Structure 1
């Protein structure tokens, strides 16, 4: 039986503020994550809209609530700015394609893997030369997460949550791990979601479950106050490279600097 390994653990990734002059490049093992506090960019909405094409602007208009329209404009435009910076491409030449599970990718630059997640006031984007998945979640006090137990956790995982001192934190820790991993796999949430491992430690993965023979890593980390995150990517811990969390400041100067990267 074909199997691969999955390593799940915690990470002490700490956020550092993005500064002017950063070089946008990726080494083989790099996992670079960008944090966007969406309310900080509301005043820049008109400036950021110019980086969206007609289909993207139409998609923004389809959101019923203004806050959701604004959030989409902000995180989609910053995603495109970052894609332009990493590929040294003009923003007008950045067109997102989608796979069968609606996961976006750049057909023009298949070496660049990225994933975006958003929850309440935050969005986050991960970049890598490896397949990568990212999930952030707001730790809601109103969400009755126990209702989901039968559909998304096995017996052992339910016991881990039920026996935890902080059950809400335990739930979101395991939930974000599953989400990040299936996003890295490109599977999305399906009937196999319940069987995706999420408890800390090493796991053997059946080929039938993940449909590949790659080894994987998943790391949980504190993303912001009242937010948890998990990032999943290919490879063994022994080959892990640089993992950085950049906090994007509310500065149009720094954002526009991304558009000024010269072509190769």
Structure 2
């Protein structure tokens, strides 16, 4: 009988709490860097026409398929800013940025497949994580109206569901576990499937059957306070013994500063 291959997984909270301005050492990634850019979407409404100029015809058509204008505006904002960020790190002109998609429709940059990124959005915020390692990001608005208790048996193991139900802050406990699972599956490129329930979400160190993950890499998952009433989680490929530099920066909401991110004039 062959030995089962396992992957190591570490899950915990991170002390990353507040966003800062983009640093002077602009747009350079060390191997241990995880950079998360935050976008407060209402601040970008007036930039819709400017940002839409940086989208392809296909992206514009996709934005027009949304039923609500607010959803159209959100897509234009975070898609254009994603291209600004990728241009900054790849040193490409925006018009030379082309995406392809893996088997699970996760996008990647054709010219720079080593430049990993992931996008998440919820209510008034969007966020973009970028790294040299495979990365997944999830942010969630912790709604008082969402009746999540009925979901517990379907998406959590018994131990996880019990810990959520016994928590002094059930809502925070639910969103902590949910965002961790969501960030992890996004990093894996799996999507939410029948394995979602089997992925750990509580603090600790785990050995997981590699067939469940569909790869043999090791992983870390960190929760962090994203904004008031928002919780985030980021998952990335690496052994638990290696510490990552996780930084949270705010995207400026004016075109002059956004254009300064570009390596050359578009």
Q: Aligning the two structures, in what range does the TM-score lie when normalised by the shorter sequence? A: over 0.9
Distance (whole Å) between structure 1 residues aligned to residue 62 and residue 264 of structure 2? 28
- Counterpart position of 1:81: 84
Question: After superposition, what is the alpha-carbon deviation per residue over 1:95-154, rounded to whole angstroms, capped at 9, x for unaligned?
Answer: 121112111111210110000000010000000000000000000111000111121001
**Mapping of residues 132-171 of structure 1, within 5 Å:** 132-171=135-174
- Structure 1 runs (4+) greater than 6 angstroms displaced: none
Query: Which of 223, 229, 232 is residue 226 of structure 2 equivalent to?
Result: 223
SS of the aligned residue for 1:240 comes to coil
Name the counterpart of 2:40: 37
Aligned residues of 1:154 and 1:195 also touching (Cα < 8 A): yes
Q: Which residue of 2 aligns with 1:47?
A: 50
CA displacement at 1:20 relative to structure 2: 7.8
SS in 1 for 2:54: coil
Question: Distance between the aligned counterparts of 1:5 and 1:208, measured in 2?
Answer: 13
- 1:238 maps to what in 2? 241
Which stretch shifts more, 209-218 or 30-39?
Answer: 209-218
Partner of 1:124: 127
Structure 1 distance, partners of 2:185, 2:23, is 34
Farther off after superposition, 96-105 or 15-24: 15-24
Deviation (angstroms), 1:22: 5.0
Q: In the alignment, does 2:42 pair up with 1:59?
A: no
Alpha-carbon distance between aligned partners in 2 of 1:224 and 1:80, rounded to the nearest angstrom:
24
Conserved? CA contact 2:118–2:128, under 8 Å? yes
Matched with 2:258 is: 255
TM norm structure 1: 0.96
CA contact (8 A) 1:19 1:254 kept: no
Distance in 1 between residues matched to 2:257 and 2:23, nearest whole Å = 6
Work out the number of aligned pairs and report it.
262
Q: How far apart, in 1, do the equivalents of 2:58 and 2:183 lie?
A: 27
In the alignment, the residues of structure 1 paired with residue 218 and residue 195 of structure 2 have an alpha-carbon distance, to the nearest angstrom, of 18
How big is the alpha-carbon RMSD for the aligned residues of Structure 1 and Structure 2?
Answer: 1.3
Alignment check: 8 A CA contact 2:22 2:249 kept: no
Q: Is the 8 A contact 1:215 1:234 kept in 2?
A: yes
1:3 matched residue in structure 2:
6
Report the 3-state secondary structure (helix = DSSP H, G, I; strand = E; otherwise coil) of the residue aligned with 2:163. Answer: helix
Equivalent residues of 1:182, 1:188 under 8 A apart: yes
Contact 1:112 1:129 in 2 (8 A): yes
Q: Which runs of 5+ in 2 are unaligned?
A: none
State whether structure 2 residue 100 is matched by structure 1 residue 97: yes
Q: Is residue 15–residue 244 contact of structure 1 (8 Å, CA) maintained in 2?
A: no
What residue is the counterpart of 2:30 in the other structure?
27
Are the equivalent residues in 2 in contact too, given 1:7–1:218 (CA < 8 A)? yes
Q: Deviation at 1:161? A: 0.2
Residue in structure 2 matched with residue 201 of structure 1 by the alignment: 204
SS in 2 for 1:238: coil
Report the 3-state secondary structure (helix = DSSP H, G, I; strand = E; otherwise coil) of the residue aligned with 2:37.
strand
